[in-house]
Structure 1
């Protein structure tokens, strides 16, 4: 594995870090907590200007067309800053799903807007108490002439009110092959948005579909390919979430180390006490290991290698590292670390939320176990746009 970053990747890191420092400080993170839109205006405008909203959009559609490792470098910096906004849902997952399942006409119509950040499309896929696999998709899309009628509930839809369209997984038949992807306008008749509260105070919505009519032209790809396309997008997307978690863990450790130097007790910094020093020393290799695993998964994808095990491993380990390191950080800070005046609680709450978002720990363990135990059985995911 060659992890010598190119000049372009180093520039992307520096650009993203500077952008986050200038427009996504912890004051912005705090302002966006429970905000109905959850889109920091200045940060999003600067992301658009820097081209970061088009990192995965091919150059022919106005994007940067970056490889996976370059995207991981960017997401590590976004994680350090806890950068809020719809970037992952729109610029990553919706773009990947469109590239995987969308027709040439659909890509031509939608990818340029996603690349520029002018258009925001977010996924609506999880349902109440249904789980993370294909069996969890129960929202019904019933064929009615040339249209479909969607009925059901989606939860944990990030930034739904800020989006022009939702990317909806709906059931049109039985089994994993009975799932399709639909693009639904957020102002469609019969669609109701209700904001949810979460431990991370991020912007999530419960979306109710009451006989929402969508045309057949709003379906992505051929009938029955929805889950396969979504799963392929998820395997790439969770590697970026792993990088986000690794960046957040690294920054949380830095904050804690500095606090242990500044906080005096019994006439000396609390970091001088062996028990606390060992906590932070133990966290350092975990943080570095998380970054390496995210890098490896991205590098493997760029080399055309199988990431069916590496991608779930990366998100599982990086999110656990983020959660464990922020838990340790709270112990070092003591009770005051839980107060809203201190930044470490922002990292602690988001670390746990990230473990639960998208594919959670149990589902990731299931994927890893299946890959380990099913070998040498052939199990691949079609990825026609691998660089």
Structure 2
């Protein structure tokens, strides 16, 4: 594994950091908390203009066609800025689902619109009380002469109000993975959006489908292949989620180190107290380890190697690192760190939220365990939250 970043990757890092410094300041992050749309207009415009929304669109379709290590460099910087917006849901997960489903030619115009930022497409995947695996998708798409009819509820749909289309995971058969991906207009008759408040104050929605008609042409890929497409997209996506978490953890540690130098108690800086210094030393090792694991997973994917174990390991470790580092940071700041006047609470609240989304710790542990323990006998991943 060669972790010497190329000149292009260093340029991408610098460009993204500068963009966030200009258009995703802490003031912007605060302003967007609990916002019903959740899209920072200036940041979104410049992400489109600089190509940061086009990174995973294939080159033959007019995109940048970056590999996952290039993208990890970008997402680490977005995590450092805890940048708000639907860039992951739309420019990563939706693009991966559309291209992975073999629908590139049919959806070429849609991919171009996503890459420019003109159109936002977000997944509608999780359901109330259901888990992350295929058994968690129970909402039915009933096939008729005029297409599919959708009835049911999806939860944790990021930026649904800002989106023009949803990629809905719906069950079309009784087999465990008989699931299809359907493109649904957010303004279609029968689609009802209800904003949900979260600990991270990000923008999530409950989406109810009341007899929503979806033409058969709006299916992504061949019938019954939706879960395989979605799972493959998730393995790539969680590497970038891990990069975002590693970046957030690194920045939270930097804020805490600076605070420990500036804040004095008993006539000396907090960082001079051995117990607190050791907390930050331990956190530094954890952050560096998280970044290396992300780079290894991204490098493996970029070089055609298996990420079946590395991708879940990266997200599991990096999200735990983000949560643990921000927990330590709160302890160093003391009670004042929980107040809204201090920036560290912004990172602390997002760390746990990040850990619970896009495959949580339990599901990731099951994926890793299945690969370690059952490498010779494929195992069905249990979905303990499905009722």
Aligned partners of 2:56 and 2:176: how far apart in 1?
26
Partner of 2:183: 183
Greater mean deviation of Cα atoms: 276-285 or 370-379: 370-379
Matched residues in 1 for 2:249 and 2:174: separation? Answer: 41
Deviation (angstroms), 1:63 = 1.5
Distance, in Å, in 2 between the alignment partners of 1:177 and 1:276 is 50
Take 1:177 and 1:238, find their aligned partners in 2: how far apart are those partners? 20
Q: Distance in 2 between matches of 1:332 and 1:283?
A: 12
Deviation for aligned residue 1:102: 4.0
- The residue that corresponds to 1:283 in the other structure is 283
8 A Cα contact 1:121 1:164, kept in partner: yes
CA–CA distance in structure 2, aligned partners of residues 261 and 271 of structure 1: 6
Give distance in 1, aligned partners of 2:247 and 2:353. Answer: 15
Asked if structure 1 preserves the Cα contact closer than 8 Å seen for 2:297 and 2:310, the reply is: yes
Alpha-carbon distance, 1:108 to partner: 1.6
Identify the residue that residue 55 of structure 2 maps to in structure 1. Answer: 55
Runs of 4+ in structure 1 displaced over 4 angstroms? none
Aligned to 2:110: 110
Per-residue CA deviation, residues 269-292 of structure 1 (Å, 9 max, x unaligned), is: 111001100100110010000000
CA RMSD of aligned residues (A): 1.0
**Higher-helix-fraction structure:** 1
Give the TM-score normalised by the residue count of structure 2.
Answer: 0.97
User: Residue 40 of structure 1 corresponds to which residue in structure 2?
Assistant: 40
Q: Which runs of 5+ in 2 are unaligned?
A: 380-387
Deviations 1:321-349 (A, max 9, x none): 00000000000000000000000000000
Q: Residue in 2 aligned with 1:152?
A: 152
Give the drift of 1:59. Answer: 1.9
Asked if 1:371 is matched to 2:377, the reply is no
Give the alignment of 1:156-235 within 5 angstroms.
Answer: 156-235=156-235
Q: TM-score, normalised by structure 1?
A: 0.97
The reply on whether 1:26 has 2:26 as its aligned counterpart is yes
Q: Does 1:304 align with 2:325?
A: no
User: What are the Cα deviations for residues 94-153 of structure 1, in whole angstroms up to 9, with x where unaligned?
Assistant: 000001014243232311111111110000000011010000001110011131000100
| Contact map agreement 2:370 2:378 (CA 8 A) in 1 | no
Please give the residue correspondences for 1:229-378 in structure 2 after superposition, counting only pairs within 5 Å: 229-377=229-377
- Corresponding pairs, count: 379
Secondary structure of the 1:161 match is coil
**Do the aligned residues in 2 keep the contact of 1:100 with 1:233 (CA within 8 Å)?**
yes
Shift of 1:176: 3.1
In structure 2, the residue matched to 1:383 is: none
Is the CA contact 1:176–1:227 (under 8 Å) kept in the aligned structure 2?
Answer: no
- Give SS of 1:166's match: strand
Residues 134 and 175 in structure 1, CA contact (< 8 A), matched pair in contact too:
no
**Which SS does the other structure have where 1:183 is aligned?**
strand
2: CA distance, partners of 1:175 / 1:240:
30
Q: What whole-Å deviation, never above 9, does each CA across 1:35-81 have from its counterpart, x for those lacking one?
A: 01000000001101110000100122221110000000000000000
Q: Which range moved further: 142-151 or 309-318?
A: 142-151
Contact 1:190 1:212 in 2 (8 A): yes
Q: Say if 2:164 and 2:185, in contact at 8 Å, map to a contact too.
A: yes
Paired with 1:90 and 1:308, the residues of 2 have a C-alpha distance of 23
Q: Show the counterpart of 2:383.
A: none
The CA distance in 2 between the partners of 1:174 and 1:354, in whole Å, is 32
Contact conserved, 2:94 with 2:123, CA < 8 A, in 1?
yes
